Structure 1
Amino acid sequence: MKKVIVVSAHPDDEILGCGGTLLKHIEKGDQVDWLITTSVFTSQGFTKERVDSREEEIQKVKEELGINTIYRLDYPTMSLTDESLIKMIPKVSKIFNEAEPEIIYLLNRSDAHSDHNITFRSVMACTKSFRYPFVKRVLMYECISETEFGPTLPENVFMPTYFVDISKYRDKKNELMKIYSSELGEHPFPRSLRNMDALSTFRGATIGVEFAEAFQVLKWIDK
């Protein structure tokens, strides 16, 4: 059994980026934990109904996906900045030392949303081999509506180097995404089932399967 943790800034990132891969891990008997760095609060102007419905979505995804443990940092959404790092990194470190993940699925560093970027930087600070010897793999996933809207600079390009065949899990991935109904729209809105299928079809064609998810490998230790 492998210990896996998927990191999302906002609930739905994890399904968009690697929902099929997580389903595959769970079917193989791996333990999958989930770290969410932000939450919504009425103090930000969200209605109580929306705060409650978001919590219901998280719990339903946890149950239907088969997540072992959810870890929450509860930073207000759309609030993460460079100043957040000094307190955020120790919190991530504590979670990693408790969960001891071997495999980390992480947001792409150059996503358009600042919450994604700060989350990425906090997590990467907690992958040093001499402090976290249990970490063997770190992989960035692409998140529709954020990765493709990041600045198109050479140093920011998402370069897929690892692919997972999710043909068997595509329908379940889409069903899980439907739980986040308020985040979905109709094409050409980026977060649409049609766009999800288009991306997984393209990634699948790259490796000769029907549907796939793509990752950029940041660390792969084979001892």
Structure 2
Amino acid sequence: MTDDLAHFGKVLVIAPHPDDEVLGCGGTMARLADSGQDVHVAIVTKGYEPAFSASLVDQVRDELSAAHTILGVKQCHFLDLPAAALDTLPGSQINAAIGQLVSDLMPDTLFIPFVGDVHRDHQLVFTAALVASRPRAQDVPRRILAYETLSETNWAAPGITEAFLPNVYLDISATIERKIEAFAAFKSQVKPFPDERSLQTLRALATVRGSTIFRAAAEGFMLIRQII
């Protein structure tokens, strides 16, 4: 595995909810951090009462901090839009929140959720991220990759809705254990096997993606755009 990931530059991973970033590209985040890249994460939503208790929200943020320390995240940015309710907001509000962060950070590479995910929040974040990164200047993100999220990406209806068909694979053989450890930090979110949000299933997906490219473990992505 080559550690030369300098061409990724400054990285921003946009996650609709805490743990999406770890599920989708935690191994890649760790590998990028190890290679010296600045890895930023944006958590778009926050849970609000009565749908989410304040104690649970606090717990998840503590878990998030622990997970990001394991992966080497440089900084996490909280946009605090309402979780599981993005579709109640004007699209312009979501676009503005994500657009402002992209403008402020000027990342070279974006990792974003997949448009075909069954969760509406994921779909809206995907669209807003593309709006934020429209190529209207020299300093737009040069690379945009969509990641897959267990229990969201594969619970849609492939063949009817958009299907996740990875065409970029990143070898995470050296960082799969840290990805597993980071997700294990989300004690409120980890489920017992055979639930998809189990440690065993997360490892199994990495094994399948890795075998696709003759590696021990990998993460699959869909390349949305690349400017070379």
TM bracket, shorter-chain basis: over 0.9
Contact 2:29–2:73 under 8 Å retained in 1: no
Q: Which moved more, 1:152-161 or 1:121-130?
A: 152-161
The answer for the alignment partner of 2:38 in structure 1 is 31
The answer for the alignment partner of 1:9 in structure 2 is 16
Q: Distance in 2 between matches of 1:13 and 1:132?
A: 29
Q: Distance in 2 between matches of 1:130 and 1:48?
A: 40
Contact 2:60–2:188 under 8 Å retained in 1: no
Q: Distance in 2 between matches of 1:39 and 1:147?
A: 21
Q: Distance in 1 between matches of 2:68 and 2:177?
A: 17
Contact 2:67–2:185 under 8 Å retained in 1: yes
Q: Distance in 2 between matches of 1:79 and 1:155?
A: 21
Correspondence 1:1-223 to 2 at 5 A:
2-41=9-48, 43-81=49-87, 83-131=89-137, 133-153=139-159, 156-222=162-228
The answer for the alignment partner of 2:3 in structure 1 is none
> Which ranges of structure 2 fall in alignment gaps of 5 or more residues?
1-5
Structure 2 residue matching 1:78: 3-state secondary structure: coil
Contact 1:140–1:216 under 8 Å retained in 2: yes
Structure 2 residue matching 1:182: 3-state secondary structure: coil
Q: Could you tell me how far 1:55 is from its partner in structure 2? A: 1.9
Percent identity, aligned pairs only, is: 29
- CA RMSD between the two structures: 1.5
Amino acid at match of 2:171: D
Q: Distance in 1 between matches of 2:187 and 2:26?
A: 16
Contact 1:144–1:191 under 8 Å retained in 2: yes
Q: Which moved more, 1:59-68 or 1:137-146?
A: 59-68
> Which ranges of structure 1 fall in alignment gaps of 5 or more residues?
none
Q: Could you tell me how far 1:45 is from its partner in structure 2? A: 3.9
Query: TM-score scaled by structure 2?
Result: 0.92
Q: Could you tell me how far 1:64 is from its partner in structure 2? A: 2.5
Quickly say closer, same or farther: Cα 1:94–1:5, change in 2 above 3 A: same
Q: Distance in 1 between matches of 2:54 and 2:225?
A: 41
More helix by share: 1
Q: Could you tell me how far 1:44 is from its partner in structure 2? A: 2.5
Query: TM-score scaled by structure 1?
Result: 0.94
Q: Could you tell me how far 1:155 is from its partner in structure 2? A: 5.4
Quickly say closer, same or farther: Cα 1:50–1:111, change in 2 above 3 A: same
